[in-house]
Amino acid sequence: MGPAIRADNLFKVVGPNGDGKTMTAPKRVESWSLIACMPPPTKYRRGVSSFKDAFASDSPSGPLFENAPACYIFADMAAKGAQGYDESKIKTLSSLEHIRLRTGMYIGRLGDGSNPDDGIYVLLKEVIDNSVDEFIMGAGDRIVVRLEGTLEAGRPEAAGAKAAGAKTEGGALVSVRDYGRGIPLGKVVEAVSVINTGAKYNDDVFQFSVGLNGVGTKAVNALSSAFRVVAYREGRQFEARFEKGVLKYRRETEARKEPNGTLVEFTPDREIFGDYAYNPEFVEKRMWNYAYLNSGLTLAFNGADFASKNGLHDLLYAEVGDATLYDIGYWRGDKIEFAFTHTNDYGEEYFSFVNGQWTSDGGSHLSAFREGFLKAVNDFYKAQYKGEDIREGIAAAVSVKLKNPVFESQTKNKLGNTDIKPWILQEVKSGVDDFLRKNPQAARRLQEKIAANERLRTELNVVKKEAKEAARKIELRIPKLKDCKFHLGDPKGEASTIFLTEGLSAAGSMVSSRDVYTQAIFSLRGKPENMFGRGRSAIYKNEELYNMMMALGIETDLEGLRYGRIVVATDADYDGFHIRNLLLTFFLTFFEELVVQGRVHILETPLFRVRTKKDTRYCYSAKERDAAVAALGAASEVTRFKGLGEISPSEFGRFIGEDMRLVRVDVQTLKAVPEILEFYMGKNTPDRREFIMQNLIGDL
């Protein structure tokens, strides 16, 4: 289909009103084409057999019709082309303009700060990454990070000097001060504003760095309403200030009392990010990750210090605590560091990093680690154990340093280097073998765990067979699954989503309004069984949970996962909240990795609809409802949605479309999960009854 024809390019000719007389069509003007006539002619001039042939007549007076149409509509095709697409429509953007226009290409999602992957945290990460790179190169062992509400004119900056009149229209002020070598004074402006400018292309200056594309700090500059950088070197300083990437001030002066390093201050632009707020818990977790990955580095965040002596050993202990089957194994080489242990949890849990960057989706380095661990264990015990028996219950952290890391995007969630497998595999084998030989008690516990996993797998195979035979008798396809076209591994697979809905009524609205290419629906039949404290075999004895597991494709391991996102969609009432908790208990008990990887989300749907004859607003809280009523007037109609099935398909489409509101399920540490599940989903203890009584709320 070609470009739409603009209304101002149309020309209408009105003919006789059905008087049956022969009429002459107006002469054709060159570049004008007949696109419609109303009503269509029923009788043509002699020798003409179709509307197209009649129009194509080259008669000087134009084509003739009998029983002529009441009107003709022509379009000036030349005018359409000239106004729709010519040289004036070609634009050349500066690199910073492109960053502001296509923000997602550089920092991923925008968000409002409620998700740890939101853009405002990516901005902070890009700046801290540069400071950590200085530490890696042996320059500076302390980084000071501060978060404040607003940036005020003349406010003293982090290093003690006065800010030279920096201004902003509001938002959070982020300040990062390192004590590295400092940006060379003559290149400060270019280093923070000109893409593909930096020293990280030079291996003599930076050997193992994440920010090798020369984009990170420039993106922070372009996406900040106020950005300030001060470089300190050998008793002098150079300061530059920007607004939305545009240079506003630059000056070089003396700074005799300031140690070498760099100070960066920025305020994320509300025009880009809207109303946002930093969550200190998310920032603190990032600080700990930096500390674990860089032993000897101290990060100060709002007055608290974050430091680690034992690197990934400390990270893994912080995640799993004392619930390990044997002491944590640890190995550090020149380019790789890893720690590992086993717990009684189901599945595999990994924390993988490249040059300090958390790769939430793993990649080639994690695959090489898993294979190396398998070979090391089999070689040590001189056995042929299966991979699932060795790795079931494993918790591990692995970090590698690469000169030329290849990531899938600017957000760097997955490593793609294929040439690193041999040396990672070999070093993992050496490290695991060394640990097992030096720790015979740990080696004995690991072998016992493998044997227990073998027995469990054998028992599960019997139950699996029975469950699959029962499912085969019911239906060849998975019941209550409305699948989508694309899945993980397909070109659009990362955007694929499966909604776990409550009942057929909610599923009905969603099925009618979903995107059939990327959105699947699995309908639950009421409340699923509470799986807290149950064994994995219980899944195969529960038809509904078994079907859900098969729909997700995770029966064997997470590599079979079929969808990029798993979204729990339940009613906004007590039953809906209970179902939500039961599903989260299922995932946290048997498939904890899905939650850690950020795959599980909660769908937010509006609680209220406020409308008049001219306007309709959907509200997600009582506060939004009251604001909408105040804006639209007291006479507006207010509807309370108590169930997803009450929302019509035409309305539901907007709630699962581009503006879909999702809350990612996250856990601060793995060791806290059992305690939380015990409290909320275990036996009804007096403590829980007291908690419920103190937190009872009424309907909105």
Domain ranges of the chain: 7-87, 99-306, 312-454, 481-605+662-694
Is 530 in contact with 578 (CB distance < 8 Å)?
no
Query: pLDDT averaged over the chain?
Result: 78
CA atoms within 13 A on the CB side of 14: 1
**211 pLDDT higher than 60:** no
Counting runs of H as helices and runs of E as strands, what totals does the chain give?
23, 28
**pLDDT tens figures, 302-321:** 889 999 999 999 999 988 88
Query: Quick check: 44 pLDDT over 80?
Result: no
The contacts found for 677-685 with CB under 8 angstroms, 24 or more apart, are 677/532, 677/585, 677/588, 677/589, 678/532, 680/581, 681/530, 681/532, 681/581, 681/582, 681/585, 682/532, 682/533
Say yes or no to pLDDT of 488 above 60: yes
Task: Say what the pTM is.
Answer: 0.65
pLDDT band for position 73 (50/70/90)?
Answer: low
The whole-angstrom separation of Cα 306 and Cα 489 is 39
Superfamily of chain region 99-306: Histidine kinase-like ATPase, C-terminal domain (3.30.565.10)
Which CATH topology does 312-454 take? Ribosomal Protein S5; domain 2 (3.30.230)
CB 605 within 8 A of CB 572: yes
- pLDDT score, position 216: 78
Residue 64 has pLDDT above 50, yes or no: no
How many Cβ atoms sit within 10 Å of the Cβ of residue 69? 22
Please give the backbone phi and psi of residue 448, each rounded to the nearest 5 degrees, phi first: -65, -40
- Give the pLDDT confidence score for residue 428 in this predicted structure: 94
Closest-CA residue to 350 (of 380, 387, 305, 320): 320
Q: Is the predicted pLDDT of residue 11 greater than 70, yes or no?
A: no
CA distance 263 to 412: 25
Q: What is the 3-state secondary structure (H, E, C) of 68-121?
A: CCCEEEEEEHHHHHHHHCCHHHCCCCCHHHHHHHCCHHHHCCCCCCCCCCCHHH
557-574 in b/e burial notation, b at 16+ Cβ within 10 A? bbeebbbbbbbbbbbbee
Confidence grade of residue 39 (pLDDT, cut at 50, 70, 90): low
Q: How confident is the model at residue 115 (pLDDT cuts 50, 70, 90)?
A: confident
* Assigned CATH class of 481-605+662-694: alpha beta
Structure tokens at 45: 């001039």
How many Cα atoms sit within 13 Å of 147 on the Cβ side? 19
Give the pLDDT of residue 165.
34
Rg of the chain over Cα atoms, rounded to whole angstroms, equals 32
> How many whole angstroms separate alpha carbon 32 and alpha carbon 43?
24
Order of strands across the sheet with 23-24?
A: 23-24, 64-66, 43-44
- Model pLDDT, residue 507: 66
Measured in whole angstroms, how far is the alpha carbon of residue 467 from the centre of its chain? 35
